[in-house]
Structure 1
Amino acid sequence: MNYLKLSFCVCLFVTSLISAQNKAITLEDIWKTGKFRTEGMDALHSMANGQQYSVLDFNRSTRSTSVDIYDYQTLEKVKTLVSSSDLAEMPYFTSYTFSNDEQKVILAGNEEAIYRHSVVGHYYVYDIASETLTLISEDGIQEPTFSPDGEKVAFVKDNNLYVKDLVSGETKMVTSDGEKNKIINGITDWVYEEEFAFVRAFDWNVDSDKIAFIKFDESEVPEFSMDVYGKTLYPQQQVFKYPKAGEANSKVSLHLYDLESEKLSDLKVDKKYKDFYIPRILWTNDADVLSAQFLNRHQNALDLWAIDTEKNTSALILAETDKAYVDVTDNLTFLEDNSFIWTSEKDGYNHIYHYDKKGKLINQVTKGNWEVTAYYGYNDDKDVIYYQSVENGSINRDVYAIKLNGRSKKRLTSEEGTNNASFSADFSYFINTFSNTSTPPVYTLNSSKSGDVIKNIKDNKALSQALKTYTFSKKEFSTISINGNELNMWMIKPADFDANKQYPLFMTQYSGPGSQEVANSWNSYNDYWYQYLAQKGMVVVCIDGRGTGFKGADFKKVTQNELGKYEVEDQIEAAKTLGALPYIDAEKIGIWGWSYGGFMSSNCLFQGNDTFKMAVAVAPVTSWRFYDSVYTERYMTTPQENASGYDENSPINHVDKLKGDFLLIHGSADDNVHVQNTMRLVEALIQADKQFEWAIYPDKNHGIYGGNTRLHLFKKMSDFVIEKLID
């Protein structure tokens, strides 16, 4: 036997094995191949019987979609409810919505995005018993919604509200004054959609005989225009209503359509202020009583009204005020007796409250120096509320059960990290999604009574195994003492870190009000980028400074009227503190961010010119004067009232301080943070005779994605960061 040859083969095998287990992450791995994609459960819906759930499944071999029913206890598929492979009219659908009795399903096809949440598409009603498919409208429509009895569908087309009777097949036009960029019925305008996070502005009552809806008169709202370059000889122009800070908002009004009389009527309340928002409407369990939330323009006073649509009377049942602002949520829940559950920060932390139907406080359900981060629902059979909170530390999330009277609280999850629950309709089970910084999402079936895991559903083991072949650094959590506060921080060091060497420092942050970047959860795609940069030889850190969330109202709202002041002070001071560490090269510190984070990274480089060597800003706000009314005024009031707060913290007004290297990036079709922000900053930099680098991505929105775009973007940023901090 040739021992020399055997030895060589063994050596080659071991070398190959070591190499295979220490692959370097590439940008193509992150943004092109999908290697790091996690498996999930798409469009999970608990069936009314509480014993089954449905999901939207995609069959790659047949290129078809289906709604499949699974049993909670066995996790086995019970049946396929409907498959696009059996539907000649609909070869593919992207979402589904059940009627209350689960005998019909709305299937969505040909959906096209309008803005962040809104879409227009063609929708069909599938009758499960007869296996028939009915097209709701030949034209593209928005927000088709079953009536509670399942016999009708309301929807919006061309800014008007319609109702289709599924029994007779007749479609009635409810409103007729809808007009683009003027009047919208039943659908929110741009700023409501973006900042109050809802699109459907109509709601059915429990008896299916009335529809309440909000009308938006945006006639006086200034228009914003964007060139869309496309591939034609001449570019097109997109024009839409966009109220910037201090400018005119849509005038909103509340209306009622009675299906029996076919009459429209106005619904009014005795408001204390003329300029207001209606961020939520919701029918109570009384078919004649509608709840509506009215918010003043400063957003520090939120009123909950009960409107009796038969008597045409209204009563103020809850008035919430705050020295800064009141958050709008979807947590309002009416119980059988029309008492209601509400969440509030009024004691300094976000907690759950129970009020009677007239707005008298019955009790505060949760209490403590911690935040409720999600309200899941109320089980009336057990008299139990289910919620998620940060009781286990502000970077973690756990699921809890508590009696309506605030007693018998029980923690239902045990693994440290991020837990999120999806409960069965009868609250007997919940599917828990767990992850932490070292564990990709794990889906388990749990008992709602004990929290015990009944069965594992998905665990992303294939991804875990694949990642073992790559060189990864641990994300280390800690806190850092900055400006009198203990701030949450994570740090990623190079895998071959040597404490006797010095490394460049690259800081990432978002920093916006109530946000959180330092969380004990699985990787985002950006986290793989940070691993990539660590492999190149730099230390990457993230710090949540003052103004971020889940540490109480005072910590979050300290930035009120001064966006960009305290947050910038914290990032600069943190950079100096970290720069003093023996293994950090204080001459090579960089920072980056996107959107609010880009506003921050620009400010940090300019105002911290003795600390930061470089910065990357993607789609940044460069003056809050350019941003929308709802978001900006919530934290800054109007420019007319707070000119210094707007101007003293604007990067545009600090360009003369630039010393380091600056890369500025924006999408030309960003309907959210307009490219105007970048253009104005560019002009200020030019007039200050400051050199910088910049890139505009044609026809790309705030997300800057599509085709090869993300890969190109991150190659550009990576080359810049590596050149300025390492090369």
Structure 2
Amino acid sequence: MKLKIIALAVFLTATNLLTAQNKEITLEEIWSGTFRQERLESLQSLKNGTEYIVQNYDRSEKAMKVDVYSYKTGDKVRTLINSKNIDGLPYFQAYQLSEDESKALLSTDMESIYRRSTRGIYYVYNLETGKLDQVSEEKIQEPTFSPDASKVAYVFENNIYVKNIASGKVTQITTDGKINKIINGITDWVYEEEFAFVQAYEWNKTGDKIAYLRFDETQVPEFSMDMYGTYGEQLYPSQYVFKYPKAGEKNSEISLHIYNLQTEKTSEVDFKNDYEYLPRIKWTNNENLLSVQALNRHQNNLDLIIVNAEENSSNIILNETDPAYIDITDNLTFLNDNSFIWTSEKDGWNHIYHYDKNGKLLDQVTRGQWEVTDYYGFDPKTGRIYFQSTENGSINRDIFSIRANGKNKAQLTQKRGTNSADFSADFTYFINTYTSSTTPYEFTLHDARNGKLVREIKDNSALLKQLEPYNFSKKEISSININGNELNMWIIKPANFDPNKKYPLLMYQYSGPGSQEVSNSFFNTNDYWYQLLAQQGYIIACIDGRGTGFKGSEFKKVTQKELGKYELEDQVAAAKKLGDRDYIDSERIGIWGWSFGGFMASNAIFQANDTFSMAIAVAPVTSWRFYDTIYTERYMTTPQENPTGYDENSPITHVNGLKGDFLLIHGGGDDNVHVQNTMQMVEALIQANKQFDWAIYPDKNHGIYGGNTRLHLYTKMTNFIKENL
């Protein structure tokens, strides 16, 4: 009897251990943040290069702080700002130091406008005296200190103001700003979304001039969205109206102006050529010389212009053209002698170039069949440039330094995977963020001269331990030969994978120009969802086809004027090739995607219904005629010039081809990819008498989140997959 009891105990222990090692993941865990990675707080290097600052909330004191830490030791050195010690400001949300680090802008009551823009209440806090001054009684946008921290410029209701901190005097620089008509000093919707910046004004080096962009939106068509609110909040829907230039429609008329604070006069810059876009302005190290990047509407002809503010003259010092398009970056860096660093794809790969102040090429700094993926800066003490690249494979990233003449390149990171760097102000140190397909974020401090490890900062070993009971499947990264190209691919199989069985396949893709979904990096939130699906017997795969990034400009730009054509060919061919594998059921292949990926998933189920039996499209573009000018025309030119390119690759054109199961989802408050896209396709599907499933999330933007929204969305998609694939 005793032996039987012992045997039973051993059996139960083994069973419990096996169960513990095969714990099933739930959607509630995924969307409650159970698997959230430890990250390094957003930090900023102080000018001394040996210390950095981090914003922390002290729960015990109920105070917001900005604390100073030593790079070398990681020890807290002192507290720079403590809301407990500031009369009249018990809390702040964010901070911004002046260039001389004597003052800080503190923000409260912040609210989002679009993807990058915000408005809020701001205060100037004097770090030396403890004095606090409110910048404005109103919510303002994009406040910045003058270089000597004596003034603050900001935008309120589309006009630019400058406040003298000592006297409190406010000077209104522009007066014609009006919502949905004239914008001064901040960008319009399409610039913010597609050129990725909001602040459209800049102080010069000596703080006596401000250059700014003026947007005349008067002729730009309006778009409106009905917002329904929560039950009980409002009886009637409200309407949100904003200017949105769709492909082929009129953009804002843009002009460049320079305000002289000494004379209190404004001059408009007169260019020698007509330009559709002015996507970047930046003062050089000469207080009277302003650089301007200017583009034609097709975005395939870029001029770098130097404006002399004293003479009100302009001179083109660099011109670049491309058969397809030119990407705008923030990499332009002026050195002490006003020579400059520039990045370009002109040799077929994105590389770094050094030009003199007149635009004469001095050196191509980097070269090879790999891409510079980030530019970190130039150290004037050593003459070295720091950058990130794909030199060790397009799915990997490493950090390098090199002299401005292109010699003595040094690799500063050694672990294979994705490395990214944050350098101290004087380039003494860098904090490396590392991840791979098997390693969540690790943060380490390195000597910038040689990459030598100084200290370990933080890792996610606790997360790896937390994941052990789930017995997650490995994300297998490889490549697949499709249409003559080696395409990067990852695949996730069930943990109990049996090569003698046949499994349904779900393909995920984004496919947008220059994007990347296959990288040597750890799980994102969707990856945990894929693990859930794998636990339920699905294989999930992702392939980056033609048009995606980091394999040279030819690979990326082959889709020009035909968005969706080659991308779809690659996804279909990949699905067929995977379907030929013995363990994949070729009759049960599904595809899904969000935004551009939803556009692709729709095209896949409509145009390749012999390959895909199921598709989910979230927030899809259903016709590029509905999307904005800057993004769409960069890749497609205008619909007037390229009607067949637009229509032949539009899902709406091919709704008659729907055969199989289709789920269509959109947010009703999507200011980016308008719900109009889905409504137009819904009507086309109805008139084609095609059955499908669909859902609208009221008032939700392009990200479709908030409260239980993501949990509801992914529950709906999971159930749809289980029922139909």
- TM bracket (short chain): over 0.9
CA contact (8 A) 1:41 1:55 kept: no
* Equivalence map 1:241-260=2 (5 Å): 241-260=243-262
Contact residue 210 and residue 259 of structure 1 kept, 8 A: yes
Alignment partner of 1:325 is 2:311: no
Match of 2:410 in 1: 410
Structure 1 counterpart of 2:456:
456
The farther-off stretch of 312-321 and 369-378 is: 312-321
How far apart are residue 88 of structure 1 and its match?
4.8
User: What RMSD in Å do the two structures reach over aligned CA positions?
Assistant: 1.2
Pair 1:401–1:476, CA change in 2 (3 A): same
Report matched runs for 1:34-183 at 5 Å.
34-61=33-60, 64-183=63-182
SS at match of 1:468: helix
Matching of residue 270 in structure 1 with residue 272 in structure 2: yes
Give the match for residue 507 of structure 1: 507
2:492–2:534 contact (8 Å) kept in structure 1: yes
Provide the residue aligned with 1:27 in structure 2: 27
The residue type equivalent to 1:716 in the other structure is K
- The C-alpha deviation readout for 1:484-543, integer Å capped at 9, x for no partner, is 111000000000000000000000000000000001112111111111111110110000
Amino acid at match of 1:269: F
Indicate whether 1:427 and 2:423 are aligned: no
- Displacement, 1:468? 1.4
Q: TM-score, normalised by structure 2?
A: 0.98
State the distance in 1 between where 2:618 and 2:63 align.
Answer: 37
SS in 1 for 2:470: coil
Going from structure 1 to structure 2, the CA distance change for 1:690 and 1:169 (only over 3 Å counts) comes to same
Q: Which amino acid aligns with 1:90?
A: L
What amino acid sits opposite 2:209 in the alignment?
K
2:366 aligns to what? 366
Once residues 170 and 419 of structure 1 are traced to their aligned partners in structure 2, the CA distance between those partners, rounded to angstroms, is 47
- Give identity over the alignment, percent: 63
| 3-state SS of 1:433 partner | strand
* Equivalent-residue separation in structure 2 for 1:126 and 1:533 (angstroms): 51
Partner Cα separation in structure 2 for residue 228 and residue 510 of structure 1: 28
CA–CA distance in 1 between the matches of 2:268 and 2:98? 28
Give the Cα separation in 2 of the matches to 1:704 and 1:86.
Answer: 40
Cα shift readout 1:610-651 (whole Å, capped 9, x = no counterpart): 000000000000000000000000000000000000000000
When residues 417 and 338 of structure 1 are mapped into structure 2, their CA distance, relative to the original with a 3 A threshold, is same
CA deviations on 1:659-702 (whole Å, 9 max, x unpaired) are 01000000000000000000000000000000000000000000
Structure 2 residue matching 1:534: 3-state secondary structure: helix
Q: State the 1:562 CA deviation.
A: 0.2
Which residue is 1:234 aligned to? 236
Alpha-carbon separation, structure 2, partners of 1:126 and 1:40: 28
What amino acid sits opposite 2:569 in the alignment?
E
Partner of 1:555: 555
CA contact (8 A) 1:90 1:109 kept: no
CA distance in 2, matches of 1:86, 1:678: 52
User: Residue 28 of structure 2 aligns to which amino acid in structure 1?
Assistant: E
8 Å contact from structure 1 (residues 656, 690) kept in 2: yes
User: What is the aligned partner in structure 2 of residue 223 from structure 1?
Assistant: 222
| Alpha-carbon offset, residue 157 of structure 1 | 0.4
In the alignment, what sits opposite 1:519? Answer: 519
The alpha carbon displacement at 1:15 in A equals: 3.0
> Residue 697 of structure 2 aligns with which residue?
697
Q: How far 1:130 moved relative to its partner?
A: 1.2
SS in 1 for 2:469: coil
CA deviations over 1:450-496 (Å, ceiling 9, x no partner): 10111011102221211112120000011111111110000000000
C-alpha displacement at 1:60, in angstroms? 4.5
Quick check: 1:43–1:95 contact (8 Å CA) kept in 2?
A: no
Deviations 1:7-56 (A, max 9, x none): 54444344333322321111011112x11111222321011000001112
CA contact (8 A) 2:86 2:130 kept: no
| CA distance in structure 2 between the aligned counterparts of 1:267 and 1:29, rounded to whole angstroms | 56
**What residue number does 1:577 align with?**
577
Superposed, 1:670-709 pairs within 5 Å as 670-709=670-709
Asked if the contact 2:487–2:545 (Cα under 8 Å) also holds between the matched residues in 1, the reply is: yes
Q: Which runs of 5+ in 2 are unaligned?
A: none
Residue of structure 1 equivalent to 2:286: 286
Gaps of 5+ in 1: none
Write the letter of the residue equivalent to 2:238. Q
For residues 205 and 199 of structure 1, the distance between their equivalents in structure 2, rounded to whole angstroms, comes to 18
Structure 1 residues 63 and 534 mapped into 2: Cα distance closer, same or farther (>3 Å)? Answer: farther
Residue type of the partner of 2:93?
T
Offset from partner CA, 1:145-166 (integer Å, 9 cap, x none): 1111111111000000011111
Paired position in structure 1 for 2:394: 394
**Once the two structures are superposed, what CA deviation does each residue of 1:150-192 show, in whole Å capped at 9, x if it has no partner?**
1111100000001111111211111110000000000000000
The normalised TM-score by structure 1 is 0.98
User: More displaced, 277-286 or 312-321?
Assistant: 312-321
How many Å separate the matches in 1 of 2:30 and 2:625?
Answer: 36
Name the count of aligned residue pairs: 722
- The residue aligned with 1:488 is 488
User: Which digits, 9 at most, give the CA deviation of each residue in 1:93-132, with x for residues without a partner?
Assistant: 2222111111111112111000000001111112111122
Q: Mean alpha-carbon deviation: is it higher for 147-156 or for 543-552?
A: 147-156
The alpha-carbon deviation at position 2 of structure 1 amounts to 5.5
The match for 1:204 is: 203
Following TM superposition, by how much is the alpha carbon of 1:263 offset from its aligned partner in structure 2, in angstroms?
1.1
What's the secondary structure of 1:311's corresponding residue?
Answer: coil
CA–CA distance in structure 2, aligned partners of residues 2 and 60 of structure 1: 55
2:30 aligns to what SS in structure 1? helix
Which residue pairs with 1:624 in the alignment? 624
Could you tell me which residue of structure 2 aligns to residue 334 of structure 1?
334
Question: Residue 511 of structure 1 aligns to a residue in which SS?
Answer: coil
Does the 8 Å CA contact 1:25/1:471 hold for their aligned counterparts?
no
**Distance change (3 Å), C-alpha of 1:462 and 1:133:** farther
Match of 1:474 in 2: 474
Secondary structure of 1:551 counterpart: coil
Instruction: Give the superposition deviation at 1:311.
Output: 1.2
